[in-house]
Amino acid sequence: MDRIVVRGGACLRGEVAASGSKNSALALMCAALLAPGESVLRNVPRLRDIDAMCELLRALGARADWTGEHEITIDGATISSPEAPYELVRKMRASFMVLGPLLARFGTARVSEPGGCAIGVRPIDQHLKGLRALGAKVRLDHGVVEATSDELRGGRVAFDMCTVNGTQNVMMAAVLTPGETVLENAAREPEVMELAEVLNRMGADVRGAGGDRITIRGVETLRGIEHSVSGDRIEAGTLLCTGLVTRGDVTVTAIDTSTLESTLDKLASMGAELTIEPERVRAESPPTLREVEAVTAPFPGFPTDMQAQLMALACTVEGSSVITERVFENRFMHVPELQRMGADISLAGRAAHVRGVARLSGAPVMATDLRASAGLIVAALAAEGDTTVNRVYHIDRGYERIEEKLRGLGAEIRREG
Ligand code: EPU
C-alpha cells in the first residue's frame, strides 16, 4: 500500500494552480444523469472519488468516460438500471446524490444507504425528507433506499440543518418535477451555486442559490451541456497552509478567491500577509505566526474541510489556539496522529485546545480520512525529520498529484509503493 514520506523543514515558495473542485465535479456528474444526452465536464480533477463516480454512473448504464486529461463525457441517454449497488455507494457517500436525478427521470430509484464513515454517522434523513416533500414514497429495505413516485409535484422543504449534498440531491429531483419547489434553510456553499448555474444552463429554472431559500420551477426536459468545473477552494486553502507552516511564500492560482474568504480571514488573523486578487492569492509568512480561534460552520463560515489543516498549522505557532468542530461530530481523528508528532492538543467535547510547540517531530502516522490526511501532510512539512503517512489512498481521493504539486514548491516529499 502506498505511503507518502515527507522530510520536513524545506521552506515552500512559488506558485501552484488549484485543480478543479472535487465536490462540485461529483454533484455535476450526478446532474448529467438528468439529461438524455451528452454532457462534457472540463477541469475535472483526476481523483479516486471521480473514478468511483464514473464507475457508479456506468453501473447505472450511463456512459461516463475520461475523454481528455481533465475532461469527462457523460451520456445519460443509455441508463438501463436506476439502481446504485452497495459496493459502489459504500466507497463514497457522494454516490447517494444519484438518487434525486434518477427518481426525477425514471420515477423510481434504488440506492444503497451509504452508512456511516470515519467523520461521523452522517445520516441521510434530510435527503429523504426533501424527496418525500416532492411526493416520493421512500422505503428503507435491507439497507437499500427505494424511492418511487407515480407523480412528483413541487413542494416546500425546510431542512432541519444545512446539508450540502442534501440540498443538491433535492434540487436535482425538483428541476424535473412539475410545479414550484421551495428549499428553505438551503446550503449556501459555492458547490450548490455552481450546480444551480449548470442546471439552469441545462434548461432548468433554479433561483436563489447562494442564499438560504432556493426556488425551483420544474421543467419537462433538460439538455446536456459543456462546463468547466471551478477551482477547488479546499485544495487551495490546504496549499496555502502548506506554505505558511514552513513560513514560506506560496501563491495559489486558478481559484475564485471569493469562495475562500473565511479561510483567508483565519490565516490573516494568524499574521499571514495576503495578496488577494479575484483568481489568485499569495500568502507570505512572517517569521512567526500567531494563535487562532476557529469554529467550523456551513458556508460562509469556516469550512469543516479545512479544520485539520488549520489545526496542523496552529500546532506550530506561538500561543494557544482553540478550534471547534460544529459540522461533524467526530472529525478529530487527526488529533492522536498529530500528538504522535509532538503536538500539544487536548480535546474538550467539540473543541480542540492547541498549544504551539517549538518543533514537531517526524513520525509514522495513519491517514484516517481525506482532510485528516491533508492535515498530517501540513504538519509533516514543518516537522523535524521524516514523517511517513500511511493509507494515502485517503489523500488520493481528494488531492490531485499532491506530491508533485508540493515538490514544485520545494517540499521534500515522495511516494513509496
Ligand atoms: N446531516 C444530517 N442529515 C442529512 C444530511 C446531513 O444529519 O440528511 C448532517 C451531517 O451528519 C453533518 C451535517 O449535516 O453533521 C452537514 O453535512 P452535509 O450534508 O452538509 O455534508 P455532505 O453534503 O454529506 C459535503 C462534502 C463534504 C463536506 C460537507 C460539509 C461532498 C461530496 N462532500 O458533504 O466534503 O465536509 O459537505 O461542508 O460535497 C470532503 O471533501 O472531505 C468532505 C467530507
| Number of Cβ within a 10 Å radius of residue 75 | 20
Calculate the CA 29 to chain-centre distance.
14
User: Is 369 in contact with 308 (CB distance < 8 Å)?
Assistant: no
Q: Is the pLDDT of residue 150 over 90?
A: no
Best residue among 21, 23, 47, 368 to mutate for probing ligand 1's pocket (most ligand atoms within 8 Å of CB) is: 23
Would you state the pLDDT for residue 284?
98
pLDDT at residue number 278: 98
Please, what's the b/e burial string for 108-124 (b: 16 or more CB within 10 A of its CB; e: otherwise)?
bbbbbbbeeeebeebeb
Averaged over 116-122, what is the pLDDT? 71
Over the stretch 225-276, which tens digit does the pLDDT of each residue have?
999 999 999 999 999 999 999 999 999 999 999 999 999 999 999 999 999 9
Instruction: Quote the pTM value.
Output: 0.97
CA–CA distance, 354 with 339 (Å, rounded to integer):
10
Atom of ligand 1 nearest to the CA of 189: 38
Of 51-55, 76-80, 320-324, 371-375, which range is least confident? Answer: 76-80
For the chain, give the percent of residues with pLDDT over 70: 99
Closest residue CA from atom 27 of ligand 1 = 305
- Is the pLDDT reported for residue 118 higher than 80? no
Q: How far apart are the first and last CA of the chain?
A: 6
Q: Ligand 1 pocket by C-beta < 6 Å: which residues? A: 23, 26, 93-94, 120, 122-127, 161, 163-166, 187, 191, 303-305, 327-328, 370-371, 398
- Share above pLDDT 90 across residues of the chain, in percent, rounded to a whole number: 90
Please compute, for residue 387, the number of CA atoms within 13 A of its CA located in the half-sphere on the CB side: 33
Q: How far is the CA of 228 from the centre of ligand 1 (A)?
A: 23
- Residue whose Cα lies nearest atom 2 of ligand 1: it is 123
Helix, strand, coil percent values for the chain (each to nearest 5): 35, 30, 35
For residues 124 and 1, give the distance between their C-alpha atoms in angstroms, rounded to a whole number.
32
| C-alpha span between 273 and 291 (Å, rounded) | 15
Ligand 1, closest atom to CA 92?
32
The candidate with the shortest Cα–Cα distance to 216, out of 227, 203, 233, is 203
User: For residues 173 and 97, is the Cβ–Cβ distance under 8 A?
Assistant: no
Across the chain, what does the average pLDDT equal? 96
pLDDT at 197 over 90: yes
- Residue 58: the pLDDT is 96
Q: What is the dihedral of CA 85, 86, 87, 88, to 10 degrees?
A: 60
Atom of ligand 1 nearest to the CA of 369: 42
Residues labelled catalytic? 117
pLDDT exceeds 70 at position 53: yes
- Tens digits of per-residue pLDDT, 360-370? 999 999 988 99
Distance 244 CA to ligand 1 centre (A): 27
Return the C-alpha torsion angle 333, 234, 230, 300, nearest 10.
Answer: 100
In which band, very low, low, confident or very high, does the pLDDT at 90 lie, cut at 50, 70 and 90? confident
Mean local confidence (pLDDT), 281-301: 98
Range 298-324 average pLDDT? 98
Cell output for 133: 416533500
Distance 164 CA to ligand 1 centre (A): 6
If you measure from the C-alpha of residue 165 to the centroid of ligand 1, how many angstroms do you get, rounded to a whole number? Answer: 6
Q: DSSP letters along 81-106, please?
A: --EE-HHHHHH-GGGGGGHHHHHHHH
Ligand 1 pocket test: pick from 128, 145, 183, 327 the residue with the most ligand atoms within 8 Å of its Cβ.
327
pLDDT at 115: 66
What is the atom index within ligand 1 of the atom nearest the CA of 119? 44
What is the number of residues in the chain?
A: 417
Residue 33 pLDDT grade (very low, low, confident, very high; cuts 50, 70, 90) = very high
> In the structure grid, which three cell numbers stand for residue 251, read together?
501563491
Q: Write the Ramachandran bin of 310: left for phi over 0, alpha for psi from -120 to 50, otherwise beta.
A: alpha
- Confidence at residue 353, expressed as pLDDT on a 0 to 100 scale: 98
One-letter amino acid for residue 362 of the chain: G
Give CA–CA dist 331/128, Å, rounded: 24
188 CA distance to ligand 1 middle (Å)? 13
Tens digits of per-residue pLDDT, 171-195? Answer: 999 999 999 999 999 999 999 999 9
> In testing the pocket of ligand 1, which one of 47, 122, 331 has its CB within 8 Å of the most ligand atoms?
122
Residue 287 CB-density burial (10 A; 0-12 exposed, 13-18 middle, 19+ buried) = exposed
Contact 374, 406 (CB under 8 A): no
Counting runs of H as helices and runs of E as strands, what totals does the chain give?
14, 24
pLDDT surpasses 80 at 151: yes
CA distance 99 to 108: 9
Q: Which atom of ligand 1 has the smallest separation from the CA of 120?
A: 11
Q: Which atom of ligand 1 is nearest to the CA of 303?
A: 38
Distance of CA 378 from the midpoint of ligand 1 (Å): 23
- Ligand 1 centre and the CA of 328: distance in Å? 8
Q: What angle do CA 336, 341, 345 make, to 5 degrees?
A: 50
Cα 64 to Cα 31, 80, 124: the distances in Å are 12, 14, 26
**Residue 116: pLDDT band by 50, 70, 90 thresholds?**
low
